[in-house]
Amino acid sequence: MSKREGARYPAYVPEYPRSWWLQTGPYRRFAAREITSMFVAAFSGLLLLFLFAVSRGREAYEGFLRWLKLPAVVAVFAVILVAVLYHMATWFRLTAHIQVVRLGRKVVPKSVVIAGLFGTWVLASVIVAYFHIWF
Amino acid sequence: MSEETIAMKVARYRPEHAAEPYVDEYRVPYREDMVVLDALNQIKDEIDGSLAYRWSCRMGVCGSCGMMVNGKPRLTCSTFLREFYPKPVVVEPLRHFPVIRDLVVDMTDFMEKLKEVKPWIIRKGEKPVEEGEYLQTPEEVDAYKQFSMCINCMLCYSACPVYGRDPEFLGPAVIALGRRYNLDSRDQGQAERREVLGVDWGIWDCTFVGECTVVCPKDVDPSAAIQREKVATTTEAMLSVMLPFKGRT
Amino acid sequence: MSLGDILDESDAREVKRRARGAGPSREDRLRRLLRPEPVFWGLFSAGGFVAAFLVPIHVAILGIALAAGWLPSRALSYERVQHLVHLPLVKLYLWGLIALPLYHWAHRFRFAIYHQFGILRWKRFIAVACYGTSIAGTAISAWVLLRI
């Protein structure tokens, strides 16, 4: 708590709580959303490790694949997947909120924009999966 | 005759009596059509005349009566007691602002920032009166109309954790107002305003928490205004790099 | 000293710093010629889209499908992966897939430090540390992809 001297009266300036982001539902969901970025970065790191393994030859690569199959590692990836899906859901909602889509004079409702983004995600995932697995 | 009553827990701060704020509890008669402001007026008229608070139009257009009601920033003239009855109602001064007395907060920071963003039509040269008015199509009005609905009630500042944590932040209402003028077809001052908005404590400090939009009583949607200003500023920066000789507004 | 004490001290010093008007004035900061914020926000935004559209399926394939045995045996075989990773388009794609989300993380993490951890001092240093990490990641991934 600190006091600020004004012209005639001391104003009361409360201390800002350090744990503000834990105090309400919306703030907690906001903090969760921001934390997903750490899991996204973690995946970038893991993908980089994958590429290092590829660059070091067959043995290193196949060792890396065996590591990927360990239950503990799969559990970590499961957590990353949940985080990344939460990022995707919140990112689409935010995008629909910012980007007003117009067809002529009519405005496309937000839920339709989100559905469109989700549909695009499904399409992108199918295309990536095709190239990743079967191409 | 038994009357329905409701408990009002009102924050008090009277520095001439006590260094710390405290809470006074009052009991006021309850009717279904009463708002929090009615209860405060009842308290001031009949129970405790020393209570200090701001209010004016009592119909949600002046923006004077913003306070924290049960922990959320609300206009007390538009918040019905029946939302909480029979539980007690906690009324506190608007969060994130210095408290002068009881429920009255110091608005100086907000008022200064409003001026910084140049909330008026800037023109390189005025049209002479003989040439007539500036004309706007309905589409041109629609472009900025939503952001012009702000009543300066400061609820968004109370909801914004960035402003709470870092009072240097320009804040939702000010940035939305800046965008309102940037989008006005009559205005030619985008470059000047972008200088003000594009600083570290301007649009870039916002992390799109979105609570400002949730609490706004006029559906101004300041968080959308801020993000769109970020998009516009980034686009302008990219274009000025890629097409450096093209004239910019 | 606990982290709480360090953060309290940091706050108190910031209040005093502002009170005595130390540091570059607002006008000087305004006149800074190089304004990098739009660049970082643009990268953050691009990274956010890459993370939203492309990362989930990669996580599912590499992290879950492989271990669960849902992939055909030659899908991630050394020969096939080597062949794919040598294609220039694939290199470019992987570079974007790794690098852009790093800028997304850096931007969010930087502001989390300012607002959630409440550290409003050393803002420049924090920003440089965050984006610097992303730039390092960008460079390292480019190097690996060119070496393969």
Size (chain A), residues: 135
Q: What is the pLDDT of residue C36?
A: 87
Chains touching A (at least 3 CB pairs under 8 A) are: B, C
Does residue B249 carry a pLDDT above 50?
A: no
In a domain, C22, yes or no: no
Q: What is the pLDDT of residue C23?
A: 47
- The chain A residue lying nearest C81, using CA atoms, is A54
Residue type, position B151, single letter: I
C-alpha distance from residue B193 to each of B116, B150, C32 (Å) = 9, 18, 16
Report the candidate in A40, A57, A41 with the shortest Cα–Cα distance to residue C81.
A57
Q: What is the pLDDT of residue B213?
A: 97
Q: What is the pLDDT of residue C33?
A: 42
B90: three-class secondary structure by DSSP: strand
- Reported as a pLDDT band with limits 50, 70 and 90, residue B240 is confident
Nearest CB among C30, C42, C115 relative to B199 is that of C30
Pair C103, C43: CB distance under 8 Å: yes
Interface test with C, best of A58, A59, A69, A84 (most C CBs within 10 A): A84
Q: How many CB atoms lie within 10 A of CB B125?
A: 6
N-terminal to C-terminal alpha carbon distance within chain A = 64
What is the C-alpha to C-alpha distance for residues A109 and C90, in angstroms, rounded to an integer? 36
Does residue B147 carry a pLDDT above 70?
A: yes
Q: What is the pLDDT of residue C4?
A: 64
Pair A28, A22: CB distance under 8 Å: yes
In a domain, C21, yes or no: no
- Which stretches in chain C have pLDDT values below 70? 1-34
Q: How far is B200 from chain C, CA to nearest CA, in Å?
A: 8
Q: What is the pLDDT of residue B108?
A: 93
Chains touching B (at least 3 CB pairs under 8 A) are: A, C
- Reported as a pLDDT band with limits 50, 70 and 90, residue B246 is low
For C54-67, b/e burial (b = at least 16 CB within 10 A) is bbbbbbbbbbbbbb
CA angle B210, C107, C101 (to 5 degrees): 105
What is the C-alpha to C-alpha distance for residues B173 and B191, in angstroms, rounded to an integer? 19
Give the mean model confidence (pLDDT) for residues B9-26.
94
Look at the alpha carbons of A125, A128, A132, A134 in this order and tell me if their dihedral is positive or negative. positive
C86: three-class secondary structure by DSSP: coil
Asked if B228's CB is within 8 angstroms of A97's CB, the reply is no
* Of A113-127, B28-42, B134-148, B233-247, minimum mean pLDDT range: B233-247
DSSP letter assigned to residue B10: E
Structural domain of C58? 36-147
Q: What are phi and psi of B118, to 5 degrees?
A: 55, 65
C-alpha dihedral, B17 to B23 to B24 to B26, nearest 10°: 160
CATH number of domain containing C135: 1.20.1300.10
Asked if A11's CB is within 8 angstroms of B106's CB, the reply is yes
Does residue B126 carry a pLDDT above 90?
A: no
Over residues C41-74, the pLDDT tens digits come to 999 999 999 999 999 999 999 999 999 999 998 9
Q: How far is C35 from chain B, CA to nearest CA, in Å?
A: 8
A7 to chain B, any CB pair closer than 8 A? The answer is: no
Please tell me the pTM assigned to this model: 0.88
B237 to chain C, any CB pair closer than 8 A? The answer is: yes
B227 to chain C, any CB pair closer than 8 A? The answer is: no
The CATH architecture that domain A2-98 belongs to is Up-down Bundle (1.20)
B207: three-class secondary structure by DSSP: coil
Tokens at residue B6, please? 């409701």
Does residue A1 carry a pLDDT above 60?
A: no
What is the C-alpha to C-alpha distance for residues C41 and C47, in angstroms, rounded to an integer? 10
Over residues B35-50, the pLDDT tens digits come to 999 999 999 999 999 9
Asked if C63's CB is within 8 angstroms of A77's CB, the reply is yes
N-terminal to C-terminal alpha carbon distance within chain C = 47
- The chain A residue lying nearest B101, using CA atoms, is A11
DSSP letter assigned to residue B67: E
- The chain C residue lying nearest B227, using CA atoms, is C41
Which positions in chain B have a beta carbon within 8 angstroms of at least one beta carbon in chain A? 13, 15, 20-21, 71, 96, 98-101, 106, 139, 161, 164-165, 207-211, 214, 223-224, 227-228, 231
Residue type, position A105, single letter: R
Asked if C61's CB is within 8 angstroms of A132's CB, the reply is yes
C31 vs B149, higher pLDDT: B149
Over residues A10-67, the pLDDT tens digits come to 899 988 888 999 999 999 999 999 999 999 999 999 999 999 999 999 999 999 999 9
Over residues A72-98, the pLDDT tens digits come to 999 999 999 999 999 999 999 999 999
Pair B109, B167: CB distance under 8 Å: yes
Domain spans of chain A?
2-98
B242 vs B135, higher pLDDT: B135
Pair B40, B51: CB distance under 8 Å: yes
- Cβ contacts of A112 within 8 Å, gap of 6 or more: none
Over residues B49-58, the pLDDT tens digits come to 999 999 999 9
What domains can you pick out in chain B, each with its CATH number? 5-105 (3.10.20.30), 108-242 (1.10.1060.10)
Q: How far is C64 from chain A, CA to nearest CA, in Å?
A: 6
Tokens at residue C98, please? 């790794």
Pair B94, B155: CB distance under 8 Å: yes
CA angle C115, C117, C123 (to 5 degrees): 65
Number of domains in chain C: 1
What is the C-alpha to C-alpha distance for residues B146 and B219, in angstroms, rounded to an integer? 7
What is the C-alpha to C-alpha distance for residues B198 and B234, in angstroms, rounded to an integer? 10
Query: Which residue has 């010093």 as its token pair?
Result: C13
Residues of B in contact with C123 (CB under 8 A): 200
Pair C131, C111: CB distance under 8 Å: no
